[in-house]
A and B are shown apart, each in its own frame.
Chain A
């Protein structure tokens, strides 16, 4: 029991152990109480030393906090104080957090976490690097994340806990497109959806955590890079100035790319893009330890080509403001509380003026400028407290969002302009309360429970759109209001210090989103149908289960997860034959029956020497529409990667083999996808740091210049062929 308490202490990030004035740090196994050798000691994302055989390492006396990383152990933050010199780290097989974390920079991976291997990987590439996460691609820009075969309305995408809704009905602007990797601290990914208390439902979740000021007196970094042959060029800067109580951080980047070139020197037209991203962040630190964070994100993408789509984005503009206050209440049973208030707007414009509209497959002979906008405001209160010595986290969350989208159709012939409202001023409101707690049943068995109750209301206010749905369904369209309940249980069994088993069960209800309820005449590139909403959809109910095993042997760590998700009242499009013809085919959303998804993820991480590491990953999803007795569409085949990396002092080099098998399981009734072939590509990267200030990096992707496409690539748009990229980064 003492061990588990210690474990919990570390698990929730309370690191109160202090450090002696000698600044000799000892790192010990938390269970065996034995010293650990070769633990990596990190400070501000840089390696500052390794522990010796006795677990010791010398730390500069000016350093107040370090990160301890050792394969097989949970990454641990250690605050150095005057009275303690030993850090106890917990074997990673005892991972209790449901989330996996993808660190944007620097941190070494462990079996539950990943790192960004390159300073200039895009956010899309970082996500694509996580097993169980796939990216739906419509070109070179703004890939749409998919977790275990689920995307869009069945996953949560958040930025620093904010609800943000895309404005493009063609999904050109997933929320992940509005945060740049140079402004990203980490990605928190809840693949199973068990974090229902904080996330508000049982959907899989990606939360993008941006960087916050960390009270550096002065910091400046300038980076630039260029890639051949698409001449992708980027310049970015981050800076920080701070006083004792105030800290400001700024980051900005400008990106521009021409059309990319697929394998075999195949130019992919309409695939270039340009983008500006700015982020301002401020933190106030009171003497009491309370903090106030204010941050603003401005993201402006222009002339973004989407070769898989009929149109290109003229402009995608995001403005996001966020204010969060964190406070402690010493002497009470509340350890900490945070209040988040936010607002954001997304404006999206697209057109096809640069396309050959006379010869395309659908909606020929007309230009179709489209616009979309979402406006969202919300607040979230989070409290960690103790009730009868039981740790409890409470969440109260609410937001309201408005969505509008419309489209003009301007014929090449002498035909009157046409106009349609795709999203007619739709308001989505949500109020949620959530709670989670842990129970220790024995020294080796831990149960975590989470509950969430949401009141969700979606209202269509545009008179014309409302009239259309009333005519289509023959009854009055009222606001769709529902109470939705979600619950999860996570049981962890620590068999020994090498092996842990865990199992999760998740119950979740999902209200159809505003597009499924009230979207009108929205073209779906996956199946080639125009979709109309259904204001009378019943909520989907999901039962999800997952088992996970983690095993640690010497310098090797293994993890395997398997899951099964059953969805009842599955919402999908059904053909509307009354108004469909050979040129224009229509579907309406409906509750079509049941579907299920099952699959696994396997990972083997190994430190062969202090410098040489391999990371092998494989993932597979099998998804079936039970009612139609066919696979769900856009499910990636079994795929994986084999990363070998070597780092010594200021030099690092890595190669990655990425592969995917062919996908023969395709949806023929609900999509027009086709089977895709397997592929394997090889990537290379080398980096060197010069004088601790200048970093150079060379990246060669798809060395063998393979022509291939992912199964989740809309329209079978191929991936980039061989490319070379050089990046320079200078820090003061």
Chain B
């Protein structure tokens, strides 16, 4: 099967960029991260900036961090960024990874977050930041974020009472033809802990409802575990329109209820 490593693809997603040819006579290529500034926080004299390719949305997101002081980018010894949603009666986190310095854009640290719900009347999101500078200065604070709703994450409860969060990872923008199909699966251990589930099998069924309860599927390869909660396969959309994909998580001792993603596939 035509299978590209999705992780690889998405780390490059960082959308490396292409070289813009500068206007000066030196003709220097300056790669730039293709991401937009979403939020800024000033913490103890440090400026923390959050970038991403799109507005943050429920589901999987890449987060790019830049920390500076007096206009100078700061290199850090350690860095953690934990998303927290504050609700009326409680707070909770979501599946996330800690920031790591990017190899291609050393001014930036990259992490990810699978927001399990959007901002709204139910509550608001912030990211709790902790970092240590090279001069061993420990800094902590928060940065406000806005998370928009999307179709790209859903939860399923198993007969054993476990709650699984299934994130739609790829294709980010479904289109007709063959492409990678990937999901991320996390299990809720507590309100603050969502470890990746890497030993499950997925049961997947794409379907197009063409009206009146009639429809059809399309060729696909069921995603299989590749580590870190990632499941990779492929899907071959036969036509544009609204599709659903039903996913069931099956572990050795547990089977989740089936959950359905509904989304639009565009023509290429």
Residues of A within 8 A of B (CB): 358, 363-366, 409, 411-413, 415-421, 463-468, 470-472, 474, 520-521, 532, 576, 578-581, 583-584, 586
Chain A's nearest CB lies how many Å from the CB of B224?
A: 15
Q: Does B210 lie within 8 Å of A470, measured CB to CB?
A: no
* 8 Å CB interface, B210-240 against A: 210-212, 214-219, 234-240
Residue B208 at the chain A interface, CB threshold 8 Å? yes
Q: Per-residue 0/1 for B184-196: is the Cβ within 8 Å of any A Cβ (1 yes, 0 no)?
A: 0000000000000
A415 contacts which chain B residues (CB < 8 A)?
Answer: 209-211, 241-242
Q: Does A464 lie within 8 Å of B211, measured CB to CB?
A: no
B211 contacts which chain A residues (CB < 8 A)?
Answer: 364-366, 411-413, 415
**Could you list 8 further interchain pairs (A-B, Cβ under 8 angstroms) beyond the known A464-B177, A520-B238?**
A364-B212, A365-B212, A415-B241, A466-B177, A472-B219, A521-B238, A579-B218, A579-B219
Residue B179 at the chain A interface, CB threshold 8 Å? yes
Q: Does A471 lie within 8 Å of B234, measured CB to CB?
A: yes
The 9 closest A-B pairs by CB, nearest first: A471-B178, A467-B177, A418-B241, A471-B236, A584-B216, A365-B211, A464-B268, A420-B239, A583-B214
Q: Does A418 lie within 8 Å of B240, measured CB to CB?
A: yes
B210 is contacted by which of A365, A520, A576 (Cβ under 8 Å)?
A: A365
A579 contacts which chain B residues (CB < 8 A)?
Answer: 216-219
Q: Does A470 lie within 8 Å of B214, measured CB to CB?
A: no
Q: Does B2 lie within 8 Å of A474, measured CB to CB?
A: yes
Residue B176 at the chain A interface, CB threshold 8 Å? yes
- B177, B217, B264 pick with most chain A CB within 10 angstroms: B177
Chain A's nearest CB lies how many Å from the CB of B93?
A: 34
| Interchain Cβ contacts under 8 Å between A and B, 13 examples | A365-B211, A418-B208, A418-B239, A421-B176, A467-B236, A467-B268, A468-B177, A468-B237, A470-B2, A472-B236, A579-B218, A581-B217, A586-B216
Chain A's nearest CB lies how many Å from the CB of B29?
A: 29
Residues of B within 8 A of A (CB): 1-2, 175-179, 208-212, 214-219, 234-242, 264, 267-268
B178 contacts which chain A residues (CB < 8 A)?
Answer: 467-468, 470-472
- B211, B212, B216, B236 pick with most chain A CB within 10 angstroms: B211
A468 is contacted by which of B208, B209, B238, B264 (Cβ under 8 Å)?
A: B238
Chain A's nearest CB lies how many Å from the CB of B238?
A: 6
A467 is contacted by which of B179, B217, B241 (Cβ under 8 Å)?
A: B179
Please report the C-alpha to C-alpha distance between residue A583 and residue B235 in the assembled complex, in whole angstroms.
21
Q: Does A468 lie within 8 Å of B176, measured CB to CB?
A: yes
Please report the C-alpha to C-alpha distance between residue A470 and residue B208 in the assembled complex, in whole angstroms.
21
Please report the C-alpha to C-alpha distance between residue A472 and residue B178 in the assembled complex, in whole angstroms.
8
Chain A's nearest CB lies how many Å from the CB of B117?
A: 25
B216 is contacted by which of A413, A419, A583 (Cβ under 8 Å)?
A: A583
Using known A-B contacts A467-B177, A474-B2, determine if residue A583 contacts B268 with beta carbons closer than 8 Å.
Answer: no
A363 is contacted by which of B1, B210, B235 (Cβ under 8 Å)?
A: B210
B216 contacts which chain A residues (CB < 8 A)?
Answer: 579-581, 583-584, 586
Chain A's nearest CB lies how many Å from the CB of B103?
A: 31
Q: Does A413 lie within 8 Å of B1, measured CB to CB?
A: no
A586 contacts which chain B residues (CB < 8 A)?
Answer: 216
Please report the C-alpha to C-alpha distance between residue A474 and residue B178 in the assembled complex, in whole angstroms.
10
Q: Which residue of B lies closest to A578 (CB)?
A: B219
Q: Does A584 lie within 8 Å of B215, measured CB to CB?
A: yes
Chain B's nearest CB lies how many Å from the CB of A520?
A: 7
A419 is contacted by which of B214, B219, B239 (Cβ under 8 Å)?
A: B239
A578 is contacted by which of B179, B210, B217, B238 (Cβ under 8 Å)?
A: B217
B1 contacts which chain A residues (CB < 8 A)?
Answer: 471, 474
Chain A's nearest CB lies how many Å from the CB of B85?
A: 31
Chain B's nearest CB lies how many Å from the CB of A430?
A: 28
